[in-house]
Every structure is written in C-alpha cells, then in structure tokens.
A and B are shown apart, each in its own frame.
Chain A
C-alpha cells in the first residue's frame, strides 16, 4: 500500500474527526449542564451549513463573515430554544428532553428537505483556501488542513475556557450541583441558557466549516449525529476531554478501517462503542459514578 493512500485516508479520518469533536464537545457540555441528550444537535449543525449557503446565495455574504455571523445567530436561536422549550422540561424525566429535541430535529430537517430537497446545495471553498500544498508524501488540500486546524483550536479553547477559567469553574459547579451553586449566588438559569447557546453555536460553526466539504444537505446532521452519540459514549458521558479526544481518535479509526477493511468502515465506531461499554461502562475518560 502506498503512503499516499494511507495518509489520504488518515487526513479524511482527521477531517471527520474534526467534526465529531466539535459536535460531541457541545453534546457533552449540554448533557453535563442541562442533563439533556440533545438530539437536535445534528440539525443545528445542518442549519449552520444552510445558513452559510443562504447568506452566500441570497445576500452575497462570503465564507469568512458567515463563519462569525452564523454561530452568533444560531447561538441566539439556541438560547431561545432553551428558554421557550427546554427550560420547561427541567426537573422532568430526561426522556422528555430527548423527545423534545428529537422532535425539533425532525421539524428542522423536514422543513429544509421540503424546501431544498435532499440532494444538497453546493458551497464553494473560500478563495484564500483553494488549491493545496504538496507535503512530499501527500497532497494536502488547503481547506481540509484549515478545517482540522480550526477545529483543534476551537476545541482546545473551549476546553481551556471550561477547565481553567473562573467562568468555567462556575459551569463545572452548575454541572455538579446546580442547587448548591444557585444557593451560593450563581445565576444558574442564565448560565444554563448561555451554555446551551454556546454549544449550539459550536454546532453551527462546524456546519459552516462543513459546507464546502460536504455541501449543505438537509440530512447531513442526522447522518453525523448517531456517530457523534457513539463518540460521546466512548469518551465518557460528561467528560469534555474525552469527547474531544475520542472525536479525533474515532475519525482516525474510521479512516484506518477504510484502508485495511473498507466494508467495516461504517460500523467500526459502533463496534468500538460496544467493546468500550463492556470493558469500561463509564467510557474511556468518564468517572464511574
């Protein structure tokens, strides 16, 4: 086997991993702070891609402004969803949150499929990142390199913000004991709303970055979200570093499987999940409760 094939698949795996990591990080944060399994996360990612496409198509707004504007707008939308919908489910069985977000995902996907069909809307690679560089052992398309680098930076910054700052300490406190945190004076309802908004913004950011790679497609979210759930479970529910590392790790594992045994590429993540659940039910980085 040639080095080109191997490194090409590794790069593809890393790109998928970049999206897994961004989405599973958001899911893990939402699960920690809201106790909700957010089935709509893939739909928010899809809407992010469509928002970038819509901005370009109808308003002639390019990739770089979209990369800022779309997460901001989607973050606000996410806060609205939390305040109007999820907040009312707080304290109920977590199944209600799962069902509500699943329903929301169906509504969003159905709406976009009704309007745009399911074949996907092409979105161009931004001019500055067209072409690629020859690394000697492989050809690296610039945009793909950018996706991996930007995802690593954003994941790392998010992780640092949560694990190493005063605001992050508040978030960790709310994750652990919301009642005590609020009785100490933290505005827990506001923190919960903002957290959900930031996680949705992360999903939308991933969606904008995905548009030039996968096009804007109404089904792109549901294709991805099932794998991302597996990533979160493998990393350990509620473990942020676990979500990030298993995101990249599983992307790479998928890439490697494509090289060595392609028929298993679509199921390798779930096989790993099954094995991890048997050996370490709390996930690779999770703390057994």
Chain B
C-alpha cells in the first residue's frame, strides 16, 4: 500500500468563538482521489482551510509526507506542495488570466509545462489577456485548477469544483480530474454531488458536525447506495 501523502489527526479548528472542527481524522495515500462529503456546515470547507492554515486557530496534527504543517503560515504550506482551489475559486479581478496563472511561485520541480496546461485547458489559452473575472464560472474554475497545477504541487485541495456549473462543464471538470489521477496526482475534493463524487473519486469521507463519521470506497457505495443518504439527506 502506498504511503500516506496527507495525514490529519485530531484536528481541531476555531473561527473566533465557534469551534468548527472536532478532532478530525483521515489520511490520503499517494495517487488517491478522495472526496469530503457532508451537509452544509459539516466542516468540509473548514477542513481544507485548516489544512492551508487559513483558519484563525487550529490544533492537532496535519502531516504532508511526514512534515508537520501545524504552525506554518499559509504560504509555507502551499510551497510545501499543496495546490489549493478555494470554494469561490479565488480568481483575482485585477489580474488578467495570464497573470492569475503565473501568480503562484513554483514550489516544486515537475510542474505541468505551459504547453501541458494549454492542452488540458484549451479554453484558457484563448482568453489569456482577459481580466480574470470576465470568464464564465466554468472557465474560472479551470483557471483556478490550472493555477494550482502550475506550482508543481502533487496534492490538490479542491473546494466544490462543480458548484453552480452547467452539467456539460461538470463533465469537463470530471474528465480533467480523471486525467490528473492518471498522471498520479493526489486529490482531496469537497463535493456535494454524490454522483459526481462517485464518478471521479476512489473513496469518500463523510463529515458531520465537524467530525469524520464514515469513510467508504466506491465498491461499498455501490453495494449500499443508501449509506450516504443518512448524512446527506435533508
């Protein structure tokens, strides 16, 4: 079994007075695509933000290939090799597409080349000079993923990459994620859409009230499709 790329143990997180993560535990192996699923407010986005060091207060353990990330500022965490796509995509309006793409410093060797990025995201190539926010939602999402890839990070954290997108764009994002998986990338994504999650991911981690309450792979999900409903149903 490949080693764990990311190990989260006993992770607690706070926003001001509100305690949003309660001892979150999970780990992800190299090359895995894993989803965090759960209701709104279950702590999925907070978990990604805690990993990136964006929560005001966090404690416990987050290890990236054995290196402890608790205590590091966000830019050091990013440079340790994590590509992050926030839930609102984080595209800068005052930067062109090309500037958005070139913004993050190269953290590691082995990043996709500009040619590979262009091949993976042909739509972006045509729109290099446009301001970042003149793109459609789907194009912004692709720009955010492409930008994360340019750093050379081999672990990607994607926060709801399909949210608000048309079905045809969701399919394109799915194809891109499967392509990245075939290239050996490790991906942790927050996803509300269980069908999409099952189509791209190997495994699903279920969160509720700031805790991990279940974990199942695609075979288990197929055998018992109702198992997630308990946590996702309204």
**Known A-B contacts A179-B54, A180-B86, A183-B52; A166 and B79 likewise in contact (beta carbons under 8 Å):** no
Interfacial chain B residues near A185, Cβ < 8 Å: 75, 78-79, 104-105, 107, 151
B93 at the interface (CB under 8 A from A): yes
Q: Which residues of A contact B148 (CB under 8 A)?
A: 184
Nearest-neighbour CB distance to chain A for B110, whole angstroms, equals 15
Interface residues on B, range: 20 to 34
CB < 8 Å: which of B75, B86, B93 contacts A176?
Answer: B93
Chain A binder among B1-9, B61-69, B94-102: B94-102
Which residue on chain B has the smallest CB distance to residue A182? B74
Q: How far is the CA of A183 from the CA of B104 in the complex (A)?
A: 9
Specify which chain B residues have a CB less than 8 angstroms from the CB of A177 in the assembled complex.
Answer: 90, 92
- A interface, over-half SS: helix
A177 to B148, CA, bound (A): 16
Q: Which of A181, A188, A189 contacts B103 (CB 8 A)?
A: A181
CB of A187 within 8 A of chain B?
A: yes
Chain A contact residues (Cβ within 8 angstroms of B): what range? 10 to 19
- Across-interface contacts of B104 in A (CB, < 8 A): 184-186
Of the candidates B53, B84, B94, the one whose C-beta lies within 8 Å of that of A184 is B84
Q: Which of A169, A188, A189 contacts B102 (CB 8 A)?
A: A169
**CB atoms of B86 and A183 under 8 A apart:** yes
Counting CB contacts under 8 A, is A101 at the interface? no
Interface of B is mostly: loop
Shortest distance from the beta carbon of B190 to any chain A beta carbon, whole Å: 15
- Least distance between A88 CB and chain B CB atoms (Å): 16
* Pair B90/A180 contact, Cβ less than 8 Å: yes
Binary contact readout B72-96 vs A (1 if CB under 8 angstroms, 0 otherwise): 0111011100001010001011110
Q: Chain A nearest CB: distance from B83 CB in Å?
A: 8
The answer to the question of A172 belonging to the interface, with a C-beta cut-off of 8 Å to chain B, is: yes
Q: Does chain A have a CB within 8 A of B203?
A: no
Closest B residue by C-beta to A188: B75
| Closest A residue by C-beta to B107 | A185
Verify if A175 is at the interface (C-beta below 8 Å from B): yes
Report the nearest B residue to A163, measured CB to CB. Answer: B94
A170 CB contacts on chain B under 8 angstroms: 103
- 25 A-B pairs with CB atoms under 8 Å apart are A169-B95, A169-B99, A172-B94, A173-B92, A173-B94, A175-B94, A176-B92, A176-B94, A177-B90, A179-B54, A179-B74, A180-B92, A182-B74, A182-B78, A183-B75, A183-B77, A183-B84, A184-B90, A184-B148, A184-B151, A185-B78, A185-B104, A185-B105, A185-B151, A186-B105
Q: Which residues of A approach B to under 8 Å, CB–CB?
A: 166, 169-170, 172-173, 175-177, 179-189
